[in-house]
Structure 1
Amino acid sequence: MEQYDQLYRLYEAADTETLRAYQEFVDLMPPLRSRVALDQWEDAREELDDRKDAIADQFPATGETYAELAAHLTREEAFTALDLQSKYGRAVNVLVLDVDETLRSAGDTDNEIPRETLHLLTEFHERGVPIVVCTGQTLENVKGFAIQGLGNAVVSSGDVSIVYESGNGVFTPKHGPETKRLLYERLDDEVVELFDAVRGRALSAAPERVRHGCHLQGNEFNVTLKPNAEVGSATAVEVVDEALCYLCGIVGESVAAGVDAPVDEPAALARTHFARDPEIEGVLADAGLSTDAALDAAPDAFRDVLDRVDVGYYEGDAAELVSLELDKSAGVEAALDVLGVEDPFALVMGDSKSDLRVMEWVAEHEAGVAAAPDHASAAVLDHVRDRDDLVYEAGEASSVLRTVYGLALLVELAERRS
């Protein structure tokens, strides 16, 4: 309890709120050529150092660490970091991060990753912690905003890996022949031909509203229907819902065309199969489509192929066909292999069921902790709250990153004192 008592004393005795304000100013002030602005920055840096020194004097054995904790973490974050240190006894050695609605939130951050979050990611990079960006987006999209936010030097350092299209490929610059792994090349012809068939029909055979209201995202492998209307708008919600109903049907028809057995009403069978997801069931029901076809009576070959793929639904954002053999967890495993992280203890941050698979993989292997925004899917929130309750408000991913930074400081302190 000594550590908890000292931490309590720290946040009672020091003006940590002002200290954090100085730290934030020093860390986040943009580069300026103005002499006046530079003088102001230097004055703030001197005041920050003086306040840290004062804390160090109050805690002779732990002062420098406590000063850093107080300068970066709120009281709640610091005690959460200490709880994590007591429970796990080790620091996070790799970050696994979803982007959309995780690091950035369209409703709270103007769809940009906040500057503090980007700064913290840079700090972790400088401390030698690899970063795995894990997203459903295309590689080119991810490379663009990663370079813009973190800088080309960080992205191209060899310590950053991009798992794109929810695990279809892994891009890790400066790793020679391992720089790009195309994981979808592992799939057999049966699945590849299904994706080719669905991709070929995705728009050409679509209902008029879907054909004119959606476009195919430029994926290497997944088949993703995106709305032409603004993501999240009422129009986008309606057209994505219709696209989902259509996509489920053509997946069934395409599977039936590829198996050597007659299949009655394959579209209805596929809708019943994918309706195991409650969100998809709700959309299909609202469209008046049945989800109670006799799936058990369908040929084994038909059901076997359906069991190898999934349809993802993201309200007002996308309807997507993916392979269950190529999910984010498989991509993360490949990224860790390329990065040389042999004993991972990861921070996994995400909001959707594709991120949940990574969180479950980490939990199964006792290989890290999970965090999620408070608007994440119910299953994700249940998992995160059951583990360590690292739930944060939309747009506040920096709070969890600060906590994990504090965990690293406390682990280092414990190792020095042991």
Structure 2
Amino acid sequence: MNRYDLLYELYDEFDAKTLLEYQNFVDVFPAVGSRVALEHWRRASDELERRKDAVRSAFPAGETLASVAAHATRDEAFTALDLLATYDRAVNVLVLDVDETLRSAGQTDNEIPRDTLHLLTELHEEGMPIVICTGQTLENVKGFITQGLGNELVHSGSLSIVYEAGNGVFTPGHGADTKRLLYEDLDDTVRGVFDEVRARVVPDAPEDIRRGCHLQGNEFNVTLKPNHQTGSREAVEVIDHALCYLLDLVGEAAPGGDPEAARAFYAAADPEIREVLERRGGVPDLDAADVTDETRDLLERVDVAYYEGDAAEVGSLELDKVAGVEAALEVLGVDDPFALVMGDSKSDLRVMEWVEANDCGIAAAPEHASEVVLEHVLSTDELVFDRNDATSMLRVVYALDRLAGLS
């Protein structure tokens, strides 16, 4: 009997939905001191085992199928099997964005849901390395990851944090390689731009930016964040102005010292930036084709990013999340990766495109991801999940890894 026939029989003959509900309850039931609550958990645990035993006794590979049914819905299990048929590989590393992927600001309490944390922990305990890949500062992400996943997992030696969208990699337990500052490898020309922008960004800022923004505490990137509520009208307005201001600073720091050149270059490269310049009457008279070769060569290595009502940022195009993930996998010793990459933004898209180009992974995104990310995901394996439901993709991975073991 092939794997598809086994799954059809499993989900047609057994109440897998109830089995999954019992497993979820047993896994995430909070630790309480109530004797009544503890007795309720024990009864649920006993019923879970009874239902698993029924599956175990019905199939030669009953243990595997019982685990699949207890951790994945019918659709998730068949999605896993379709992925196995396509790639003939199990996932062996998780590459995960945090904000708007593992957790969704504004829709939950901004924490990673408990069922997601539990399944991450379970996969990790079974040998799955985890790469947390974020634009946040190291201290921010390290704090809530340690709180959520626990100090033991974070310092297990098989978890790595790519922070500031690839400027650095933190992998506890790896001696001299525990913290790698990738931005130190940039040449002096590029670093000189960042040094000048960072030195001027606050002292030279217009009054509305000084009062309406704050400088995020990055190690390398220069990021202006709004003091107003993210996404509010006030935040959109001040970040639009901050973007124009950063473009001018980059232009003045580049060869030729021409802010018009930077505006022209980035407006031609990014429609969102051009739209902001148009809204603010800041589109330059200079044509992008007239930017000097020396200036263009430098600007092609410096990224100016815009996130509406959330951030305006200067970063290095040589240090994106792909560079960070490659460094993290090297430290973790993952020589032949097949990754699940989950994310929602353009910086995550670069990792998704990298795993596709190198045939070393699959990509998934929440339904509210940016348009270009969704286009990529829908054009590959269509792994789009609901807001706040990153757990569903982890359940697919759980099922995929077990089904791959069936002959």
Q: When the two structures are superposed, what TM-score results if normalisation uses the length of structure 2?
A: 0.97
* Shift of residue 291, structure 1, vs aligned partner: 5.0
Q: Secondary structure at the match of 2:252?
A: helix
| Structure 1 equivalent of residue 373 of structure 2 | 380
Residues 1:366 and 2:359 are matched in the alignment: yes
| Structure 1 equivalent of residue 249 of structure 2 | 250
CA–CA distance in 1 between the matches of 2:57 and 2:362?
34
Q: Deviations over 1:61-118 (max 9, x none)?
A: 2222221111111111111001011111111111111101111111322211111111
CA–CA distance in 2 between the matches of 1:33 and 1:318?
45
CA–CA distance in 2 between the matches of 1:132 and 1:114?
18
CA–CA distance in 1 between the matches of 2:145 and 2:285?
44
Alignment of 1:122-161 (within 5 A): 122-161=121-160
Q: Deviations over 1:4-41 (max 9, x none)?
A: 23312222222122111110110001112222222111
CA–CA distance in 1 between the matches of 2:377 and 2:284?
31
CA–CA distance in 1 between the matches of 2:321 and 2:54?
46
CA–CA distance in 2 between the matches of 1:395 and 1:272?
39
Amino acid paired to 1:388: D
Q: For 2:316, which of 323, 335, 350 is the aligned residue? A: 323
Alignment of 1:158-169 (within 5 A): 158-169=157-168
Structure 1, unpaired ranges of 5+: none
Q: Percent identity?
A: 64
| Structure 2 equivalent of residue 38 of structure 1 | 38
Amino acid paired to 1:273: F
Q: Secondary structure at the match of 1:170?
A: strand
Structure 2, unpaired ranges of 5+: none
Amino acid paired to 2:317: L
Q: Deviations over 1:120-168 (max 9, x none)?
A: 1101110111110010100000110110100000001111101000110
| Structure 1 equivalent of residue 49 of structure 2 | 49
Amino acid paired to 2:206: P
CA–CA distance in 2 between the matches of 1:169 and 1:292?
38
Alignment of 1:13-412 (within 5 A): 13-58=13-58, 60-255=59-254, 259=255, 262=256, 266-275=258-267, 276-290=269-283, 293-412=286-405
* Shift of residue 2, structure 1, vs aligned partner: 3.3
User: Which moved further from structure 2: 20-29 or 290-299?
Assistant: 290-299
* Shift of residue 292, structure 1, vs aligned partner: 5.7
* Shift of residue 375, structure 1, vs aligned partner: 1.1
Amino acid paired to 2:235: A
CA–CA distance in 2 between the matches of 1:74 and 1:234?
41
Q: Deviations over 1:331-355 (max 9, x none)?
A: 0000000000000011111111111
CA–CA distance in 1 between the matches of 2:247 and 2:60?
62
* Shift of residue 385, structure 1, vs aligned partner: 1.1
* Shift of residue 232, structure 1, vs aligned partner: 2.1
Contact 1:281–1:291 (CA under 8 A) maintained in structure 2: no
Q: Secondary structure at the match of 1:376?
A: coil
Contact 2:274–2:283 (CA under 8 A) maintained in structure 1: no
Q: Deviations over 1:387-409 (max 9, x none)?
A: 11111111110010100111001
Q: When the two structures are superposed, what TM-score results if normalisation uses the length of structure 1?
A: 0.94
CA–CA distance in 1 between the matches of 2:399 and 2:239?
42
Off by >3 Å, runs of 4+ in structure 1? none
User: Which moved further from structure 2: 287-296 or 374-383?
Assistant: 287-296
Amino acid paired to 1:3: R
CA–CA distance in 1 between the matches of 2:23 and 2:79?
20
CA–CA distance in 1 between the matches of 2:285 and 2:361?
40
Amino acid paired to 2:157: G
Amino acid paired to 2:323: A
Provide the aligned length of Structure 1 versus Structure 2.
406
Contact 2:265–2:291 (CA under 8 A) maintained in structure 1: no
Q: Secondary structure at the match of 2:404?
A: helix
Amino acid paired to 2:303: D
Q: Deviations over 1:295-324 (max 9, x none)?
A: 322322111110101111111111000001
CA–CA distance in 2 between the matches of 1:220 and 1:164?
10
* Shift of residue 173, structure 1, vs aligned partner: 0.5
Contact 1:93–1:346 (CA under 8 A) maintained in structure 2: yes
Q: Secondary structure at the match of 1:412?
A: coil
